[in-house]
Structure formats: C-alpha cells, structure tokens
Amino acid sequence: MATERDPVCGMDVEVQASTPRAQHDGKTYYFCAEECRRQFQNEPARYVASAFKKVGDIPTPKFGSAGSGGAEFERGPRR
C-alpha cells in the first residue's frame, strides 16, 4: 500500500479511499486525521513551504509526530 507523509504532523499515512486529503496548488496532500487536514486548510502555505527542517544533515519534523509524545519540537542528534 502507498504511503505519504502528513505535512502537518510528519506522520507516515497509508493512502486509502477513506484517508483525509486536501488539494493545494494542484497537489494532493494526505493526513493522518481530520484535525491535521483542518489545520492544513487554515494555513496551507505554512505547511507546504517546508514540512521538515534540518538539524545538521538529518531532517527532523517541525512538529511533534506520533512517536514524539506530542512534543512541539524534536531535537536532532547531538554532534
């Protein structure tokens, strides 16, 4: 099954017929839940610009993901 990354929370989402989705600038974005879809629709440019940031050479989610316990920022590895 195909997976896509939720641009709001960074979670990998299995794409199914029931998967929440939204269109922006001709591209379809998929979401883990309706709440992420609503946040995206309220401010799509915020999430499309860069769903991830880099710490060193390692991309890290800008927002908490399912495994982070809801942390707003996840630190990358120490150098």
| Percentage with pLDDT > 90 across the chain | 53
In order of 34, 65, 66, 78, the CA distances from 41 in angstroms are 10, 19, 20, 35
Q: Tens digit of pLDDT for each residue in 26-62?
A: 999 999 999 999 999 999 988 887 555 555 655 555 5
Closest CA to 30 of 13, 18, 44: 13
Where in the chain are the domains?
3-68
pLDDT for 70 = 47
Is domain 3-68 in CATH 2.30.170, yes or no? yes
